[in-house]
């Protein structure tokens, strides 16, 4: 009788070890897949909530209050005649928490007091598309890569937006750089509005914040911030670049597009009395511009604080030396890129505002004056196709308040509410 060959002890141990390794790999792969699925659901939940919030806004002309949108409840709105349900159940994040997220990292919905905007804070454990792991913020402008909901240190809120305090105001220390870069071209997807005095408008997507980068180079946006048409900066449809307004202290009504901006029109709250957030982060707004410092006159207050007493920038290079105080102070005093009259006199950049001479994008699609001029949009329109901006010039220590066509694209520097 022949003896049958059997596995030796070593062979059995090797097989068991291989099975153990394969089982461990399978378990880890399954856990990673489940974690990625939970993160994908978190992002999908937030996008679903955003869609419901926009539908609610279209009907109610405001975003819901915190009590109207709570996890586990339903998002509904009644106008007295009918009730519409936008979400039957407000989602809650899947469990367990992943990565640096904690068990308390719920979807946190925070509307503004006037119902004009909102933020949703949430957390993902790992990368999801272009989103990195960690805390994030969603606003009407989209889903941001980073937790940019909070206010800056100048006004509390515990956020991560750097601000500089100038007198009683708190300004962002950099030009705004948000949105998707689009190239400045004369053709599709741009719209020729030259017959309205506006040239070419390319920031036309109503669902996306769009920016130009000087010479279509993203690196220039990184250093200088984006360039925005006036309507884009104000978060209005692009048609609002070339319409006339009649303002009564409460509302600015468009002649050609009288519907509210929420319904694709250009009628919106009067910026002389109402802060216009536009594309600024939560807690900030596009600077107001008024001759009356008792009104919403952010620029005038800033310039009078930095310039001579009761100075005026209306139609002239006034408020000396406020212009030099606002410009960026460079390490190389022989460079004129900061545009200061006397770079070594201790005045240049004194305010910490660090205005960059970022140039502009013309309505014809061309770029110009980077390193030479700085233009900053205000929220105030001027005439049928213009809006007021304040700009700095090399070799001049004052500031000019000037109207320009709204399809020109300039820098945006937000001020805290």
Residue 410: what are its φ and ψ, rounded to 5°?
A: -125, 175
Instruction: Characterise 6 by phi-psi region: left (phi > 0), alpha (psi -120 to 50), beta (else).
Output: beta
pLDDT tens per residue across span 4-59: 566 677 777 788 888 888 877 777 666 778 888 888 898 899 888 988 988 888 88
Amino acid 329: pLDDT = 73
H/E element, 302: helix 298-306
Distance CA 119, CA 139 (A): 5
Q: Which residue has the tokens 């013309």?
A: 362
Amino acid 410: pLDDT = 95
Q: Which residue has the tokens 């009907």?
A: 59
DSSP β-bridge partners for residue 108: 121
Beta strands 200-201; 251-254: pairing state: unpaired
Residue 402 and residue 390 in contact, taking contact as beta carbons nearer than 8 Å: yes
Amino acid 262: pLDDT = 67
Distance CA 132, CA 387 (A): 38
Distance CA 136, CA 10 (A): 52
Give the number of residues written for the chain.
Answer: 417
Residue 200 and residue 190 in contact, taking contact as beta carbons nearer than 8 Å: yes
Distance CA 266, CA 231 (A): 9
Distance CA 208, CA 205 (A): 6
Distance CA 257, CA 407 (A): 17
How many alpha carbons lie under 13 Å from residue 337 in its C-beta half-sphere? 11
Q: What is the DSSP letter of 27?
A: H
Distance CA 187, CA 182 (A): 12
Omega within 30 of 0 (cis) for the link into 96? yes
Residue-by-residue DSSP string for 119-137: EEEEEESS-BTTBPSEEEE
Distance CA 288, CA 298 (A): 5
Amino acid 152: pLDDT = 31
First to last CA, the chain: 96
| pLDDT-flagged residues of the chain (< 70) | 1-7, 28-30, 80, 103-105, 113-114, 141, 144-161, 186-188, 193-198, 262, 291-295, 315, 330-339
3-state secondary structure of 238: helix
Give residues with Cβ within 8 angstroms of 13, minimum separation 6. Answer: none
Amino acid 414: pLDDT = 92
Distance CA 325, CA 310 (A): 17
Distance CA 267, CA 257 (A): 7
Amino acid 211: pLDDT = 92
Distance CA 146, CA 135 (A): 7
DSSP β-bridge partners for residue 327: 355
């Amino acid at each position: 009788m022949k003896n049958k060959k059997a596995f030796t002890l070593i062979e059995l141990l090797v097989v068991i070890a291989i099975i153990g390794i394969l089982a461990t790999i399978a378990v880890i792969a399954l856990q990673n897949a489940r974690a990625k699925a939970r993160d994908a659901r978190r992002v999908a939940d937030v996008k679903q909530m955003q869609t419901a919030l926009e539908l609610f806004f279209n009907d109610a002309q405001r975003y819901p209050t915190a009590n109207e949108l709570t996890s586990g409840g339903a998002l509904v709105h009644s106008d007295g005649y009918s009730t519409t349900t936008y979400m039957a159940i407000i989602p809650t994040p899947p469990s367990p928490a992943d990565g640096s997220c904690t068990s308390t990292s719920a979807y946190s919905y925070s509307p503004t007091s006037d119902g004009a905007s909102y933020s949703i804070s949430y957390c993902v454990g790992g990368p999801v598309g272009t989103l990195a792991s960690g805390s994030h913020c969603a606003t009407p402008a989209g889903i941001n890569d980073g937790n940019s909901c909070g206010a800056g240190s100048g006004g509390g809120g515990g956020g991560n937006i750097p601000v500089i305090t100038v007198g009683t105001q708190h300004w962002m220390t950099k030009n705004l750089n948000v949105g998707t870069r689009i190239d400045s071209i004369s053709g599709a997807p741009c719209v020729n509005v030259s017959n309205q005095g506006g040239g070419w408008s390319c920031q036309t997507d109503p669902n996306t914040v769009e920016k130009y980068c000087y010479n279509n180079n993203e690196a220039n946006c990184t250093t200088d911030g984006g360039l925005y048409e006036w309507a884009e900066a104000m978060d209005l449809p692009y048609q609002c670049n070339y319409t006339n307004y009649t303002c009564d202290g409460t509302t600015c009504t468009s002649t050609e597009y009288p519907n509210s901006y929420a319904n694709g029109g250009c009628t919106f709250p009067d910026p002389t009395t109402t802060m216009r957030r536009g594309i600024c982060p939560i807690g900030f707004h596009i600077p107001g511009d008024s001759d009356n410092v008792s009104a919403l006159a952010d620029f005038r207050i800033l310039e009078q604080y930095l310039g001579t007493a009761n100075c005026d920038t209306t139609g002239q290079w006034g408020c000396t030396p406020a212009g030099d105080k606002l410009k960026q102070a460079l390490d190389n005093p022989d460079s004129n890129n900061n545009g200061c009259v006397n770079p070594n006199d201790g005045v240049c950049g004194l305010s910490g505002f660090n205005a960059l001479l970022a140039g502009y994008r013309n309505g014809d699609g061309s770029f110009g004056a980077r390193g030479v001029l700085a233009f900053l949009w205000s929220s105030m329109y001027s005439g049928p196709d213009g809006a007021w901006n304040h700009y700095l010039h090399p070799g001049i220590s004052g500031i000019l308040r000037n109207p320009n066509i709204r399809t020109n694209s300039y820098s945006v520097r937000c001020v805290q509410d």
